[in-house]
Amino acid sequence: MREELPIVTARTSISSRETYHKLGIGGYMVFSAGAVEKRFFTWDSHEVEVDDDGFIQQPELWNEQLALALAKTDGVSELTDRHWKVIRYIRGYYHEFEIAPMIRKLCKETGFSLREIYDLFPSGPAKGACKVAGLPKPTGCV
């Protein structure tokens, strides 16, 4: 049985009328409400605002179910203990320093090589691991 990926929907709110657009599996949709353009990621009847690259805009809304849904959009069908080790390290570092760890620090502290990080998160440590960990889009070299 094939595992189902999260369904992404877009919601457009204009005046008192709301329009829903079903987009399919593993994508994001832009909608405009007046002059404000927002993107949302929807999974299991939950919705979070994301930026143009799919990073959540309110890190405090992150949870493990959201992490799994975000991972699936990047082709990671399950999160193993190895994934969680990286995710928890990134989240802990961010909580302490309010910035994502540099790649060298991530590899040193988790014991994974850069190749192993890419094996776990094919989009890489910034686009993949940091997004799944619920961080804002990193700046600099992550």
Catalytic pick among 52, 61, 141, 142: 141
- Concatenated DSSP letters of 37-102: EEEEEEETTEEEEE-TTS-BS-GGG--HHHHHHHHHHTT-----HHHHHHHHHHHHHHHHHSSPPP
- The helix (run of H) or strand (run of E) holding residue 110 is helix 103-110
User: 141 an active-site residue?
Assistant: yes
What one-character DSSP code corresponds to residue 135? P
Provide the annotated active-site residues.
141
